[in-house]
Amino acid sequence: MTRWGLIPASASVLLLTGCMVGPKYTKPDTPLAPAFKETSEPQAGDAWKMAQPSDGVLRKKWWETYDDTKLNELENQVEPANQTVKIAEANFRQARTAIRFNRSAEAPTIGTSPSIASIRASANQPYLPPGAASNGTGDFTLPLDLSYEIDLWGRIRRSVTAARESAQASAADLATVLLSIHAEVAIDYFEIRSADAQEKLLNDTVSAYQEALELTQNRFQGGVAPKSDVAQAQTQLDAARVLASDIRIQRAQYEHALAILLGLPPAKFSLPESPLNAHTPTLPDSPVSLPAQLLERRPDIAAAERRMAAANEQIGIAKAAYYPTLDLSAAVGLEGTSLLNWFNWPSRLWAVGPSLSETLFDAGRRRATTEAAQASYNGTVATYRQTALNAFQEVEDNLVVLNVLNTEASQQHEATDAAEESLRLFQNRYTGGVDTYLQVVTSQTTALANERNDIDILRRRLDSSVLLVKALGGGWDVSDLPRL
């Protein structure tokens, strides 16, 4: 081919390499509501609010909004120590290397295989003419081979794109793991603080019941109270001691779980006691965005969307198998019969040329591969939509919990105050000989139950606020995905 003939041929190849078969990716829609249902009637003092344009999004280190120094210290230990985070980070690095692997097909592959051999041809071969038979010769070869697949139909480009999208999905998985671990650390921390508050309340109750027992014993010895009052006071005291002992199990288990999240064996981790009542974390305001914005702020939704995009590329890759494959091969090198003439100019060799290959019959293999890729894509679409629906549910669930618990907390404070006042009245009436000790026991039980419920509601509010932050994405945004 002349030099001028190469120009249109090269232009044709460049035009062909711009072709891509298969569907163009378009993000499918997902069921949306104009707003979250549970934000329609906010109550005063709720730990959430509708986000305004000036509010922005949650802070990246959202746990700092609880204004708890110890919690901040624990959260900062998660990323360098948690083993689940390390697994997710390793998975991301592995997925990122797949981009380089697939991108390497965009460039030619060049190799060499030097060889030195002594060759003797058989004298009995049917040489024509017979005088061409050789008693042997040397073969010294130094080749340089080049092979390059011209990406006519976009198979290679789609492979690179699919690898990039899969790596972005893996990065979103890492963000999801980090968000989950940070949320679990906060919840376990608040559970421990709640257990501390419960234990302090029960220890104080044991002390109060001990005094009540001594009072009934004195009254019995003075002939004022019957033996049954002493038995009732003793029973109430023993029951409170059992509750105080049992709460230590719960605290120990949460402390062990927290140690594992921080990458430590439980034997090497201990959290000092600090009851919620003495150190109550601040319930932060969590700006609640619209459902459509949540799609951009949840890393698990972003991961599902990126996998959906990668699955779409696989359809194009499968369709490209229906079309011919064009390969360009070239070889240059030196070949001689001895070291003396190996590197001489006449020993040079070269070969170059394209080859076109097309499968004419495969008994439906390509069709099955294409249908499988389409089915896989349909599955990722359903996964994406289901992930979004689950996210909407998590936000709604925690909004309603915080909304109801806010009202319930006020009601419980009133009930606790009333129960404590009732207990004081019955204790005074018993001391004055007006009522039996049964009334005191009943009021003690009621007061203790309300006081414990007060602490438990605070714990549930803290846990739900953490879960709401997690449901809202924890300050993550789709723009945080790496540009690979």
How far is Cα 165 from Cα 303, in angstroms, rounded to an integer? 9
348-357 and 325-336 beta bridge pairing: antiparallel
pLDDT of the chain along its 484 residues, tens only?
Answer: 444 444 445 445 544 455 889 999 999 998 888 888 877 444 444 444 544 433 445 678 999 999 899 999 999 999 999 999 999 999 999 999 999 999 999 999 999 989 888 777 666 666 555 555 556 677 889 899 999 999 999 999 999 999 999 999 999 999 999 999 999 999 999 999 999 999 999 999 999 999 999 989 998 888 888 999 899 999 999 999 999 999 999 999 999 999 999 999 999 999 999 998 755 777 877 778 788 889 999 999 999 999 999 999 999 999 999 999 999 999 999 988 888 888 888 888 999 999 999 999 999 999 999 999 999 999 999 999 999 999 999 999 999 999 999 999 999 999 999 999 999 999 898 888 888 888 889 999 999 999 999 999 999 999 999 999 999 999 999 999 999 8
Question: What are the tokens at 243?
Answer: 């509750």
Question: What are the tokens at 365?
Answer: 């293999």
How far is Cα 148 from Cα 456, in angstroms, rounded to an integer? 68
Q: Are 146 and 331 in contact (CB under 8 A)?
A: yes
Query: 236, exposed or middle or buried, with CB in 10 Å at 0-12, 13-18, 19+?
Result: buried
H or E element at residue 355: strand 348-357
Which residue is it, tokens 């679409």?
381
Query: 444, exposed or middle or buried, with CB in 10 Å at 0-12, 13-18, 19+?
Result: buried
Question: What are the tokens at 437?
Answer: 């000790």
Amino acid of residue 359 = T
Domains for the chain: give ranges and CATH numbers.
16-107+156-323+373-480 (1.20.1600.10)
Residue 27, φ and ψ in degrees, nearest 5 = -65, 120
How far is Cα 19 from Cα 152, in angstroms, rounded to an integer? 6
- Side-chain-facing half-sphere of 465: CA atoms under 13 Å: 26
How far is Cα 176 from Cα 181, in angstroms, rounded to an integer? 9
pLDDT in the model for residue 5: 47
19: three-class secondary structure by DSSP: coil
Q: Are 270 and 254 in contact (CB under 8 A)?
A: no
How far is Cα 410 from Cα 40, in angstroms, rounded to an integer? 21
Amino acid of residue 55 = D
Q: Which of 332, 325, 352 is nearest to 149 (CA)?
A: 325
Question: What are the tokens at 241?
Answer: 């001691």
DSSP string, 250-314: HHHHHHHHHHHHTT--GGG-------TTTSPPP---EEE--HHHHTTT-HHHHHHHHHHHHHHHH
DSSP string, 162-201: HHHHHHHHHHHHHHHHHHHHHHHHHHHHHHHHHHHHHHHH
How far is Cα 301 from Cα 389, in angstroms, rounded to an integer? 10
Q: Are 209 and 444 in contact (CB under 8 A)?
A: yes
How far is Cα 255 from Cα 259, in angstroms, rounded to an integer? 6
352: three-class secondary structure by DSSP: strand
For the chain, how are helix, strand and coil distributed in percent, rounded to 5?
60, 10, 25
pLDDT in the model for residue 117: 84
How far is Cα 415 from Cα 75, in angstroms, rounded to an integer? 36
How far is Cα 303 from Cα 385, in angstroms, rounded to an integer? 12
Amino acid of residue 258 = L
